[in-house]
Structure 1
């Protein structure tokens, strides 16, 4: 359950994986207090994990680093619920996008 009052809530259900990032852009003129809760199939929700994003700034936390090693399995996808008290834009970024094209596996 969220402990903050927030008007902005969204869920990313695409199946995030450990190592993925969320780009969170605070479009408001004040601090955005953001909570992230992780949900994996067959497990209890993890979180909320809290972040403060300064006005009109971006943070891109690596999801795995926020929850340490509490994720049930490194190969199990999970969803992320994002709650904020200010408007934020959220863009999931798979870890594989950070690898240069020449280094990506073609298997």
Structure 2
């Protein structure tokens, strides 16, 4: 269950794997406050992990960057629940594809 009141909610259930990325595009003219919750079979949900995406911008978080040491087993697929207070488009990118590895800047 989300701790945020959101207008947009979706789930990706195709068996994402650690190392995969999610491209999140905020299509609105306001910042989108997004929560990601990762669910595995037989395990406790991880999250919610909160992100703020500026208006009409994209972010592509990698699971390890969000979860850290609580990362599920590399062989265990997971589903992702995405909740946002603004409209966002979500596109999963499997780690084996040539998805850009976007990392936050150290500035």
Tell me the TM-score normalised to structure 2 length.
0.89
Deviates more, 1:85-94 or 1:57-66: 57-66
Q: How many residues align?
A: 99
> Gaps spanning 5+ residues in structure 1: where?
100-107
Runs of 4+ with deviation above 2 angstroms? none
Tell me the TM-score normalised to structure 1 length.
0.89
Listed one character per residue, the Cα deviations across residues 43-99 of structure 1 (whole Å, up to 9, x for unaligned) are 000100000000000000001221012133111000000000000000000011128
The SS at the match of 1:65 is helix
For residue 105 of structure 1, what is the aligned residue in structure 2? none
Deviates more, 1:64-73 or 1:75-84: 64-73
Instruction: Please give the alpha-carbon distance, in whole angstroms, between the structure 2 residues aligned to 1:29 and 1:53.
Output: 11
Instruction: Please give the alpha-carbon distance, in whole angstroms, between the structure 2 residues aligned to 1:97 and 1:49.
Output: 24
Superposition CA RMSD, Å: 1.1
1:1-107 equivalences under 5 Å are 1-98=1-98
Instruction: Please give the alpha-carbon distance, in whole angstroms, between the structure 2 residues aligned to 1:32 and 1:43.
Output: 29
> Gaps spanning 5+ residues in structure 2: where?
100-107
Instruction: Please give the alpha-carbon distance, in whole angstroms, between the structure 2 residues aligned to 1:84 and 1:49.
Output: 12
Deviates more, 1:21-30 or 1:68-77: 68-77
Instruction: Please give the alpha-carbon distance, in whole angstroms, between the structure 2 residues aligned to 1:72 and 1:63.
Output: 10
The structure with more radius of gyration: 1
